Structure 1
Amino acid sequence: MTSIFDSIPTIDVAALRSADPAARRTVVDELGRAARDVGFAQLVGHGIDPSLFDALLTATKTFFALPYDEKMRVYIGRSTNHRGYVPAGEEVFAGATPDHKEAYDLSIDLPSDHPEHLAGNPLLGPNQWPALDGFAEPVDAYYRAAFSLGRILLRAFAEALGEDADLFDRHVTTPPSQLRLIHYPHDPSAADRPGIGAHTDYEVFTLLRPTAPGLEVLNGNGEWIDVPYRDDAIVLNIGDLLEIWTNGRFAATSHRVRKVAEERYSFPLFFNVDYHTRVAPLPQFVDADGPRYDAVVAGEHLFAQTAQSFTYLRRRIEKGHVSLPDGARPLYSLGREAQRSAALS
């Protein structure tokens, strides 16, 4: 049964860094309710220094203001591990037209001689940095801060389920946790249609810092609920892997970005676990009806979903240069929208 909600909760998570166990427990319980009932929350008191975000935003604006040919020097299709510039129209979501946005994608910055990269891992290795002064340092600093927050939240989610804090965190060493720098250009004629089509996120959860409104979340009635914009908040949403691990106790909620007339930047960190982690419903969350999901390998699930939505990877698949992992799920076959569709069929 999918949840009927009409607003997104706001949670002050400062006590997660507190030595007061009662205060921490209160926040843990709030996070658990949000994960079960909505799949989304706005986090304040998150501890990320505003100056880190300001520096990230300045660097991002500088990069996207470059001429197209300069940005294409770090085109994501030049990378073997999915890093770099994503031009408008490159990414196509299931059942939607190409998105009118541009992006720059990065992840954990491993050396070129890292064993996973040398072995051909499609998501692990070095970032493809542009030759732009004052870009890599602030972007990497924000990545590290958001990733640190993610580990704190991951432990809190385990506690919210009544488990040891390291239940999921033990699988975090060199995960393909991706940070996207996204630019939605000014569009004075914006129509009432999505700027990013309805989807769930492929990883464990997402930590999003936008600069303007536009995000909407799907509830159990099939209604789109607005996420109010707050310039002091980070938006949290549950992803596919946490839904699988908890056998649906926590559910990935479909969301989209509607078209807005104003220029908008968005910075999602897609928090993940290590590439080779096997994710299956944990026995303590499985009832007499059995598991609701088949197991996936975290990195393979992420790559399969990515490869089905990026044009350059779809071309590589068509040419036989890469292939989808065995048992790859169709795009967006998890989450509340998929549950609702299955219930109606």
Structure 2
Amino acid sequence: MDEQYVLPLVDISLLNSMNAEDRQQVANKLNQACKDVGFLYIRGEQFQPELFSNLLKVTQSYFSQPLEKKMQNYIGQSLNHSGYVPVGEEQFTESSIDLKEAYDINYDYQGAALKFPLLGPTQWPEDTAFKQHVLSYYQHLKAIGQQIFQAIAVALNLDEHHFDAYISHAPSQLRLLHYPFNPAAQDAEGIGAHTDYECFTLLLPTAPGLQVLSKQGEWIDIPLLKNTLVMNIGDMMEILSNGRWLATKHRVKKVQQERYSFPLFFSCDYDYVIQPVIPNEQPRYPALKSGEHLFNQTAQIFSYLKKKVASGEIVLQNARPLSSFGMPENPMEPK
């Protein structure tokens, strides 16, 4: 780890190279960072800062509207879990309510009707600029994520294109998160401690607040680093890597300043079976279905889905408890 930074920093520019050795070099650095920490900074010539600037402007404009206006696109009225998420809708634990609002953008699937609950046309507000700039950022980061999937394959001693066929219609979600100005903020949680459910996340925050649980069981503040994103490993990649890389618990503490955060969660196709892929290793994890796990975890957090589960309208199949992956908060305790 570079001593100048709290997290390892990996430059992914060479993933654009036609030289396989250059791409292998990036894969080696990703492997080390994911194995050692599970969280890292990434930067590269691929990133277009102007797309982030446009995203931030339309997001600020959207969240400045009255609550009544935003609730016209409430996520609970969508068929594929997209739309506006009011403060208090999400709850990771009984004692913790997330003090943020959000707008969730799913993979805007326009193909033939599917039975999967996380795929379909995104619910968009009636704002052309919002849709244009949010989609531009989503598609830009999605292309970079595909490069990272290829580097991950190399890091795991697989063919570079191993994952290509399994991410063509992935329900990868972009969240536009807004933490309002809070002059009374203390060190309480703005988002409760959790691991991400998917393979990996690429995050752009505008202010501090992110904390990561170290392997020593300590919460570490993650400062902003100019012209970088934060990347972290999720549940699915812990399984795929057969535990070589652990999903890392993280949380967001309440801060006084207004804060925006833009995570894009990269998953595999809904019906792809997540199981260890390391060649010549005995699997340490049972297999699970990608979309099923993603929906099960989501349904344990969002109020509108919890109500449907409680009423029997939704029946979860093979649901794992929240925080089933990653290190325990007390490293002396079993997972």
Residue 51 of structure 1 aligns with which residue? 50
**Pair 1:114 & 2:112 matched:** yes
Q: What residue is the counterpart of 1:267 in the other structure?
A: 262
Is the counterpart of residue 129 in structure 1 residue 120 in structure 2?
A: no
Change in Cα spacing, 1:156 to 1:95, as seen in structure 2 (3 Å) is: farther
> What's 1:99 paired with?
98
- Distance in 1 of aligned mates of 2:265 and 2:290: 12
AA partner of residue 75 (structure 1): Y
Q: Cα deviations across residues 40-82 of structure 1 (Å, max 9, x unaligned)?
A: 1101115121111111111101110111011000000001210
Residue pair 1:332, 1:338 contacting (<8 A) in 2 also: no
Q: Which residue of 2 aligns with 1:309?
A: 301
Whichever residue aligns with residue 186 of structure 1, its letter is F
Query: Residue 324 in 1 paired to residue 319 in 2?
Result: no
Residue in 2 aligned with 1:30? Answer: 29
Query: 5 Å matches for 1:70-219?
Result: 70-94=69-93, 96-111=95-110, 114-116=112-114, 119=115, 121-219=116-214
Which residue, out of 336, 340, 345, partners 2:331?
340
1:154: Cα distance to partner? 0.6
SS in 2 for 1:91: coil
Pairwise CA distance, 1:98: 0.9
**Is contact 2:158-2:278 (8 Å) kept?**
no
Percent sequence identity is: 47
Aligned with 1:115: secondary structure? coil
Query: Which whole-Å CA distance do the structure 2 matches of 1:162 and 1:79 have between them?
Result: 40
Indicate how the Cα distance of structure 1 residues 130 and 341 shifts in structure 2: closer, same or farther if over 3 A, else same. Answer: farther
Counterpart of 1:115, as a letter, is: A
Contact 1:253 1:337 in 2 (8 A): no
SS at match of 1:284: coil
Question: Judging changes above 3 Å, is the alpha-carbon distance between structure 1 residues 203 and 150 closer, same or farther for their aligned structure 2 residues?
Answer: same
Q: CA deviation at 1:166?
A: 1.8
Q: Which moved more, 1:216-225 or 1:202-211?
A: 216-225
Residue number in structure 2 paired with 1:249: 244
The answer on whether the counterparts of 2:96 and 2:189 sit within 8 Å (CA) in structure 1 is no
Does the CA contact (< 8 Å) of 1:42 and 1:235 recur in 2?
A: yes
CA separation of 1:258/1:266 partners in 2, compared to 1, >3 Å: closer, same or farther? same
Could you say what secondary structure the match of 1:135 adopts?
Answer: helix
Give unpaired runs (5+ residues) of structure 2.
none
Q: Is the 8 A contact 2:240 2:278 kept in 1?
A: no
* SS at 1:212 equivalent: coil
Q: CA deviation at 1:176?
A: 0.2
**How many angstroms does 1:95 deviate by?**
5.1
Residues 166-215 of structure 1: CA deviation (Å, up to 9, x unaligned): 22232111110000000000111101122111100000100001111111
How big is the shift at 1:338? 7.0
**1:21 CA displacement:** 3.5
TM-score by structure 2 length?
0.95
Judging changes above 3 Å, is the alpha-carbon distance between structure 1 residues 46 and 95 closer, same or farther for their aligned structure 2 residues? farther
Q: Is the Cα contact below 8 Å between 1:94 and 1:331 reproduced in 2?
A: no
Instruction: Report the TM-score when normalising by structure 1.
Output: 0.92
- Counterparts of 1:188 and 1:263 in 2: how far apart (Å)? 10
| Partner residue in 1 for 2:63 | 64
Aligned residue number for residue 6 of structure 2: 7
Question: Shift in Å at residue 337 of structure 1?
Answer: 2.5
Rounded to whole Å, the distance in 2 between the matches of 1:66 and 1:252 is 36
Q: CA RMSD in A?
A: 1.7
Aligned to 1:3: none
Aligned residues: 331
In structure 2, do the counterparts of structure 1 residues 339 and 162 end up closer, same or farther at CA, with 3 Å as the change threshold?
A: farther
Equivalent residue letter for 2:9: T
Structure 1 gaps of 5+ residues are 1-5
Could you tell me which amino acid in structure 2 is paired with residue 235 of structure 1? Answer: V
Q: Distance in 2 between matches of 1:35 and 1:220?
A: 12
Q: Secondary structure at the match of 1:92?
A: coil
- The letter for the 1-side match of 2:298 is T
